Structure 1
Amino acid sequence: MFIFAPGETAQLSVKHSLGENIAEIATLWLFLLAAMTFVAYLNKKGMIESLMFKLLPQSIGERPLMFLTAIFCFLFSSLADNITATLCSIALILSLQLPLEKTVKLTVLVVFAVNSGGVALITGDVTTLMIFLNGKVTIVNLLLLSFPSLIAVLCLALLLSRGLNGTIEIRHQTTPVNRVDTVIAAIFLATIAATIIGNVAFGIPPVLSFLFGLSVMFLVAYFYKEDIERDPIMDYIRLIEFETLMFFLGVLLVVGTLQKIEVLTGVTALYEQLPHTAANYLMAILSAVIDNVPLTAALLKSDISMASGQWIVLTYAVGVGGSLLVIGSAAGIVAMSKVQGLTFATYLRFIGQLLIAYTIGFGGAFLVGQLLPVV
């Protein structure tokens, strides 16, 4: 585009578009880097595993376990990235040594709950963060989305729990937790709260709040002498999923280029032919087949004009729609790689229950959108 620009004005336009695209990607990168470093630290220190086992009793019925798993995955994925939430939840399920059919049921629930929990907070899902950073939704609006998302997860747990009447004995595994780990966990939660309050009250960009929180985390580690040669605090940055970040970099640069050459105008055709609600519902089907990150990026770059309520609906659709197929989300791919016997075909057997739960959540998201003022 630089080489074949017809003149200096066109070349400057390309340069300006590249600068905007790089700035958007850098904002997304830095936010994810800070959030994922927190989670990587807490995960390696055993904080997350310890919390999971503290919530579980020594003995629990299979049906209550289904609902407890649903709620835990929903809440955990709001704070952590989907991959970490899925890995921790799957590890717990596999430790129970259940029959394959029950393991698959719990895994399907984990995938749906993890994706559903992520849509309500910018820390939980990349597509939600992207839509927020583009100014289409507010943090307060997203928090309202958590209600229909949770209802959908509980509905799926109810559907999948049919025929489960047994009792499971759980072997509790405890990892000693140091004082500094508890303090850093508190800093992580405080950073999330400060991000929400700071953005709502003062318009502080979330990336700035999280970078500040990360700085405090490093300072606290130094104060507690946690930063020693055998376990330096800065090394935890290397533990995050850089493959995921590189994927986002490549995809978003490509989508930015396609937007500049006006290829993405075709994306808006569906919204011109159908009502926005129907088009948003179909976006879930597309996000189950196509990765939701490039799909969301394409929709944002194509400058679709919708009311704020419809952007809330779209946020739910692209965030949860990938759960309909096992290949439709990072959580599904991770689960398939960890659970032997979970294949595309075995996951597809639950498409009816997944569609029902998704549709209930979509309807709730639509009602939430209707309550918002038209912008």
Structure 2
Amino acid sequence: MEAIILTVFILGYLAIALEHNLKVDKLIPALAMMALLWAVISLFHMPVFEVNTELRELEPTHVQEILLHHLGKTAEILVFLLGAMTIVEIIDYFDGFATIKGFIKTKSKRRLLWIFSVLAFILSAIIDNLTATIVLITILQKVVRDRDLRLWIAGVVIIAANAGGAWSPIGDVTTTMLWIANKVTTAALIEHVLIPAILCFAVPTLVVSFTKLFKGDVDFDDDENTTPQKYGSVILYLGLTAIIFVPIFKTVTHLPPYIGMMLSLAIVATFAEIFSRKKFNMTSIDAESEAAAHHSPVHHSLSKIEMPSILFFLGILLAVAALESLGMLFEFADVLNTNMPMLGTESHGETISDLVVLFLGAASAVIDNVPLVAASIGMFSVPSDDPVWHFIAFSAGTGGSMLIIGSAAGVVAMGMEKIDFVWYLKKIAWLALLGFLSGSIGFMFIRDFILNA
């Protein structure tokens, strides 16, 4: 039966990876793969196990119980993402991101590159790397007329956005998964990953800034006719503060992150309704309230949420959970550790080679990093805040930059700027690799010679 399980998983994975070739949205094979995997487990009464993280072993359980357990863990991530997405859409409703455009005054190509790179790094840590990329490329298209220059800046934005998402628990879906699964804490994640993440984006940006393309001034396209929204900047700062508040709320209350995100959403939504001067009850379905809701920023923002992405995460996380429940991920982890040359230090009785983690990072450029991180959570049994988890957060978050299809930020930039796959491979991939290796070396140095000194 394991052969059938692996066949279904591999075929589903291929369908996800070849989404653009097959012209089938990746959520479809993800959902089908998830349903078929659990159906095979149930129909053939395959033994399933629950992970005992304290004893680092598998304990037999029942299909219904383990499925409900994994659904609960997945729901925590999805509800968290729904809240974050809604807050970002509310900011966009009030055109809050236009405030960021007002900060860009320079005409120097080199300074412009660094401004977008730093903004991508900072914003992605707060509003996630995908949203930060969308916001900055939208601004870039309004500011820079030269397409060739825009493509190069967009490539650097992808690298910087993925690097920024790696050191923040709310900056990337994979880092959020590790955070919600209690594999990393906010303070320790920042302590281990912030400097490597800075190296990851700063080194490529520095190299590019000295090329001939970034000499001189840009043909600045500043649209003075745009009238800013009255409450745009207020909602922007309120929304960003509300999202940053979530890790603080979790630290103080020890409640799951989605609780804090729902509180933040409630606060932002309240001010949004006040500013729009519309009365709207989210629980009411009568005709009058629906008419008011049509113009409500909250209702509008909820309708703009990327539900295909939410369903994709549901499918892929529960599909990987099926492999974890069968114990197959632990077997795969043993194979990797046995066959990889040992590089790294023993931690809590389990030695995991740094090459294994680097392999996961490189693989995330080809394979979606969400299932890779989901698999790693089931593969490794080291405790919370072990450096292994921090290295996985960095590698999976930044390794995808090496191919334009290797990250959500890359895919959205590819669509917005019509970036050619081969162009990115020739021009940007080596820069992303340089950043990835610089950050990885920085991480290992900090771990072995500073934090463990």
Q: Is the 8 A contact 2:96 2:235 kept in 1?
A: no
How many pairs align?
A: 370
Given the two structures, how large is their TM-score scaled by the length of structure 2? 0.76
Mapping of residues 1-375 of structure 1, within 5 Å: 1-5=41-45, 13-48=62-97, 50-57=98-105, 59-144=106-191, 145-161=193-209, 162-163=211-212, 164-168=214-218, 169-172=220-223, 174-179=226-231, 181-224=232-275, 225-227=277-279, 228-232=292-296, 233-268=298-333, 269-274=335-340, 275=342, 276-305=353-382, 308-340=386-418, 342-349=419-426, 350-370=428-448, 371-372=450-451
Distance in 1 of aligned mates of 2:400 and 2:216: 31
Change (3 A) 1:334 1:138: same
Distance in 1 of aligned mates of 2:91 and 2:70: 32
Of 84-93 and 194-203, more deviation after overlay is shown by: 194-203
Task: Please state how far the C-alpha of 1:183 moved relative to its aligned partner.
Answer: 4.4
Distance in 2 of aligned mates of 1:266 and 1:254: 17
Task: Please state how far the C-alpha of 1:102 moved relative to its aligned partner.
Answer: 2.1
The runs of 5 or more residues in structure 1 that have no matched partner are none
- Other structure's SS at 1:55 match: coil
- Other structure's SS at 2:107 match: strand
Of 165-174 and 321-330, more deviation after overlay is shown by: 165-174
Which residue type is aligned with residue 152 of structure 1?
Answer: C
Question: Percent of pairs identical after alignment?
Answer: 26
Distance in 1 of aligned mates of 2:66 and 2:293: 44
Distance in 1 of aligned mates of 2:81 and 2:250: 17
Distance in 1 of aligned mates of 2:60 and 2:332: 26
Of 83-92 and 103-112, more deviation after overlay is shown by: 83-92
Cα deviations by residue, 1:77-135 (Å, 9 ceiling, x for unpaired): 11113332222222222334444432221111011111111112122100001111222
Of 92-101 and 70-79, more deviation after overlay is shown by: 92-101
- Other structure's SS at 2:62 match: helix
In structure 1, the partner of 2:23 is none
Distance in 1 of aligned mates of 2:239 and 2:71: 27
Tell me which structure has the larger Cα radius of gyration. Answer: 2
Change (3 A) 1:193 1:373: farther
Which residue type is aligned with residue 392 of structure 2?
Answer: L
The runs of 5 or more residues in structure 2 that have no matched partner are 1-40, 50-58, 280-291, 343-352
Change (3 A) 1:175 1:203: farther
Which residue type is aligned with residue 320 of structure 2?
Answer: V
- Other structure's SS at 1:123 match: coil
Q: Is the 8 A contact 1:115 1:323 kept in 2?
A: yes
